[in-house]
Amino acid sequence: MLSQFFTIARNTFVESVRQPILLLLILVSGLLQVMNTWMAAFSMGRMSSAEVYGDNKLLLDVGLATIFGAGMLMAAFLATAVISSEIDRKTMLTVVSKPISRTWVILGKYLGVAGAITGAVVIMLAFLLLAIRHGVLSTAGDHLDMPVILFGTGAVVGSLLLAAAANFMYGWSFNQTAVTALLPLVLLAYLGVLLVSKEWEIQPITTDLPIKIVTACVAMVLAILVLASVATAASTRLGQVMTIVVCAGVFVGGLLSNYFLGRQAFTNEIVGVVERYEPGQTGSDDPSSRGAILDVTLKEPPRVEVEPGDPFYFGPNPNGVALVTGNFDPFPGDVADTPSLFEPTTPGGLIVLDAVGRQLIVQNIGRDPLRLHRPPERDDFVFTTPTRVAPLPATLWAIVPNMHYYWLLDAVTQNREVPTQHLVKIALYAILQIGAFLALAVALFQRRDVG
């Protein structure tokens, strides 16, 4: 069974890379990246410590958006070509008539399509990284990055010439040869650019290697693989046009889900935004320890009146999603009665001991104090009420693939670290989404008439 599964996946991969639309989208994406280096000059800032700054922020934003859109189109076209079109041509009947489960057919088709899309997206991301290294031509006096131009052009032209020669002499598929040759050549071109400076001097490979941008690119690949699973499910019952419509709907809906569903699902009233945090002079430096004091300074005075005894919640989201503190029971007693803060019946939590202007003095109370995996950080949002959850919008928000999770551009441009834990969560989220849509695809294909 596994042998048949991998045979289907291999044949699907070959058929996918032979599709003219794949090579066309790759080349168009590369051309758009070149045009972005000319058209993204809007003087959006000066030097900073981030990996991209000034006009290059817009270059990265537009470049990633271009690849996102191209990946969505690839997923829809390729999934339709290997499933819906085969059903229409009756060639799928030959496959399902063999002693193999329809489940393995769908999984093999997805694996082949996902392999082709991954290779194509890697090529497009390499084009983007070359454009980032070149930078935006903001003025007529800017110098061209000749290593980028020569190596990048050489990879594209070399692959096309190789594909043309192989097609003419051996009858090989032009599209397949061009795509399979372009992948290693463009990666070698980028490697060469990393080893050579703009002045043609040898440099360490890490000098111009943007780790955070590469991380954002990996997250982008996961998002496109999710869209490929959506296209696979849609193509089991729909034609090419409707599959594209469904993919575009999921794509746009995933980008807008935070606005239409997320803000309705979770609501809370912001008190302020953290400017800095320091451990209190008394108590432990560990914010999770019993009696720990947290000295929190807000960027501006609280938007609502904060009084001693009020609960203290904080988290990274303005609507109160994923609070670091979680929701806890409020303290019912008097904060001036210090022994009562640590009685066996006192629930663990954070309460405000004192509030003067932008300064909040917070303490971790309770016999079993509130466990925190980190202290307050700059730009965290502060609340004095637990986050309210609306069940229906929260359920819909959880079902719709949220494309914002894969969009790490803000972290890159703001020079913020992306924790490894966050990347693991993104990968698990993508795996769960892919599994759910493939399960739907299997269910839709089980009783599909292919004869």
Q: What is the CA radius of gyration of the chain?
A: 27
The residue range of the domain holding 372 is 272-386
β-bridge partners, 351: 311, 363
Averages of pLDDT over each 10 residues, the chain, 451 residues: 85 92 94 86 58 79 91 90 84 80 90 94 95 82 87 95 95 94 96 92 90 91 94 90 91 88 88 90 74 91 91 91 88 86 88 92 89 89 93 88 88 82 92 95 86 66
Burial of 91 (C-beta count, 10 Å sphere; 0-12/13-18/19+): exposed
Q: Is residue 393 domain-resident?
A: no
pLDDT number for residue 335: 85
pLDDT number for residue 448: 81
Name the token pair of 290. 């019993």
| Residue 289: HSE in the Cβ half-sphere, 13 Å Cα cutoff | 10
Q: Is residue 451 domain-resident?
A: no
Taking the C-alpha atoms of residue 112 and residue 218, their distance in angstroms, rounded to an integer, is 19
Q: Is residue 394 domain-resident?
A: no
Domain boundary among 386, 416, 436: 386
Q: Are strands 313-315 and 272-279 parallel, antiparallel or unpaired?
A: unpaired
Taking the C-alpha atoms of residue 311 and residue 232, their distance in angstroms, rounded to an integer, is 48
pLDDT number for residue 141: 67
**Is 153 found in the same domain as 25?**
yes
Cβ distance 350 to 342 under 8 Å? no
User: Closest Cα partner for 331 from 303, 359, 312?
Assistant: 312
Name the token pair of 3. 């042998």
**Is 214 found in the same domain as 139?**
yes
Cβ distance 94 to 243 under 8 Å? no
Q: Is residue 31 domain-resident?
A: yes
Counted domains in the chain: 2
**Is 351 found in the same domain as 217?**
no
pLDDT number for residue 416: 78
**Is 177 found in the same domain as 295?**
no
**Is 21 found in the same domain as 145?**
yes
Cβ distance 136 to 37 under 8 Å? yes
**Is 129 found in the same domain as 55?**
yes
User: What pTM was estimated for this model as a whole?
Assistant: 0.84
Taking the C-alpha atoms of residue 162 and residue 157, their distance in angstroms, rounded to an integer, is 8
Q: Is residue 440 domain-resident?
A: yes
Taking the C-alpha atoms of residue 156 and residue 27, their distance in angstroms, rounded to an integer, is 9
First to last CA, the chain: 23
Task: Locate the DSSP E strands across 270-398.
Answer: 272-279, 293-298, 313-315, 349-356, 359-365, 381-383, 388-389
Collapsing DSSP to helix, strand or coil, 200 comes out as: coil
Burial of 322 (C-beta count, 10 Å sphere; 0-12/13-18/19+): exposed
pLDDT number for residue 227: 94
Burial of 204 (C-beta count, 10 Å sphere; 0-12/13-18/19+): exposed
Taking the C-alpha atoms of residue 268 and residue 218, their distance in angstroms, rounded to an integer, is 33
pLDDT number for residue 5: 85
**Is 91 found in the same domain as 108?**
yes
Q: Is residue 186 domain-resident?
A: yes
**Is 348 found in the same domain as 302?**
yes
Task: Locate the DSSP E strands across 181-309.
Answer: 266-267, 272-279, 293-298
Taking the C-alpha atoms of residue 228 and residue 241, their distance in angstroms, rounded to an integer, is 15
Name the token pair of 58. 């817009």
**Is 411 found in the same domain as 377?**
no
For the chain, the maximum distance between any two Cα atoms, rounded to a whole number of angstroms, is: 90
Taking the C-alpha atoms of residue 30 and residue 114, their distance in angstroms, rounded to an integer, is 20
User: Closest Cα partner for 112 from 248, 244, 237, 229?
Assistant: 229
**Is 319 found in the same domain as 182?**
no
Collapsing DSSP to helix, strand or coil, 333 comes out as: coil
Sole residue written with tokens 């320091």: 278
